[in-house]
Amino acid sequence: MMKFKEFFKKHLGDGILALALVALSASLLAYYLLPRNDSGDKYANVYHRNDILYEKISLKGEDEKFPIDIENDKEHIHMVVELKNHKIGITYSNCSNQYCVHQGFIDSTMQTLICAPNEVRVCIYSLTPSHDSEIEI
- Which comes out higher in pLDDT, residue 101 or 126? 101
What band does 29 get if pLDDT is binned at 50, 70 and 90?
Answer: confident
Where b means 16+ CB within 10 Å and e means fewer, 4-33 reads eeeeeeeeeeeeeeeeeeeeeeeeeeeeee
Q: What is the CATH number of the domain that holds 56?
A: 2.60.320.10
Q: What is the pLDDT of residues 53-92, one digit of tens each?
A: 999 999 998 999 999 998 877 789 999 999 999 999 999 9
Q: Do residues 79 and 98 both lie within one domain?
A: yes
Q: Do residues 73 and 8 both lie within one domain?
A: no
Mean pLDDT of 11-28: 87
- Which comes out higher in pLDDT, residue 84 or 127? 84
Domain count, the chain: 2
Within 8 A by CB and 6+ apart from 97, the residues are 117
Sign, CA torsion 99/102/108/110: negative
CB–CB of 129/117 below 8 Å? no
State residue 133's pLDDT score. Answer: 47
Q: Do residues 48 and 29 both lie within one domain?
A: no
Expressed as residue numbers, the domain containing 81 is 42-126
CB–CB of 95/118 below 8 Å? yes
Mean pLDDT of 80-106: 94
